[in-house]
Amino acid sequence: MNRNFTPVFLYPLLRLAILNDSGILKYSAIICIVYMFKFVYSNNKKPQTMNLIELLNWRYATKKYNGQKVPQEKVDKILEAIRLTATSAGLQAFNVLVIENEELRKKITPIANNQPQIADCSHLLVFATWEKVTPEHLTEYMHLIASEREMPVESLDAFKANLTGAISRPHDAVYEWLSRQPYIALGTALIAAAEQQVDATPMEGFNAGALDELLGLKAKGLRSVALLPLGYRDAANDYMVNVKKVRKPKEQMFIEYK
């Protein structure tokens, strides 16, 4: 309700309170005015926003979604947070597939052990690591840095040589390093989704080989490692919605060296 409309509906009550000789009517009118002011001003207050810790307590691994679509501007903010996330050497050696298509999500559902979140969510994010990093990748990355920071690309030769050494290790060692990178982005996505008050469910329970084949990831040099449905919780039917979050006490979690 807009405060500008307050005087319009209060005029009759003000007139009744001021001009009426009856004590009961005058008193009743004053009480009505007080409650109306409380109603108007309470409805014009900005919604109280949650801080980071409150948001992390609010979020949970949603088990059932209500099918409601997440507005594109919220999805875009979550994706932008993923783009800005930290990665080793800033290389961003992964891609994120954003799947809104309902038919495709239905095909993915049996690949993901028939977990209902895949079909019922609004958007499904597939985090896929690069299979390998090539010299061409590094050259492209050096030129991007040079362009963004307006510096000569030759000044990055030492940095490039260091990364070249890292990717020259045995394939298994390089892939182990690469496959960890999407999880940093996954954590960022979970926090970003909570900040937008969008529910999310991190998942590893799926057949990665079958999903890679369905999405043609091998041809793109990618391998899927994690899924993240986004949407809105079905509060009436999700058994986890009101279950208390269980986490270790900080005394058991953190080992301090002072």
Q: From CA 64, how far away is CA 69, in angstroms rounded?
A: 14
136 falls in which pLDDT band (50, 70, 90)?
very high
- 4 falls in which pLDDT band (50, 70, 90)? very low
pLDDT band at 15 (very low <50, low <70, confident <90, very high): low
Q: How many CB atoms lie within 10 A of CB 96?
A: 18
Give the CA radius of gyration of the chain.
27
3-state secondary structure of 56: helix
Q: What is the mean pLDDT of residues 104-115?
A: 98
Read off the pLDDT of residues 145-191 as tens digits, 9 standing for 90 and up.
Answer: 999 999 999 999 999 999 999 999 999 999 999 999 999 999 999 99
pLDDT band at 8 (very low <50, low <70, confident <90, very high): very low
Confidence of residue 40 (pLDDT cuts 50, 70, 90): very low
Is pLDDT above 90 for 30? Answer: no
pLDDT at 49: 82
At 43 the pLDDT is 38
If you count them, how many residues does the chain have?
258
* Strand partners for 26: none
Q: What domains lie within the chain, and their CATH numbers?
A: 3-43 (no CATH), 62-235 (3.40.109.10)
Ramachandran angles phi, psi of 107, nearest 5°: -70, -30
Average pLDDT across the chain, whole number: 88
Per-residue pLDDT at 143 exceeds 70: yes
What is the C-alpha separation between 35 and 26, in angstroms, rounded? Answer: 15
Residue 45 has pLDDT above 80, yes or no: no
Strand 94-99, strand 123-130: pairing = antiparallel
pLDDT at 27 over 80: no
pLDDT in tens, 216-255: 999 999 999 999 999 999 999 999 999 999 999 999 999 9
Span 31-38, average pLDDT: 51
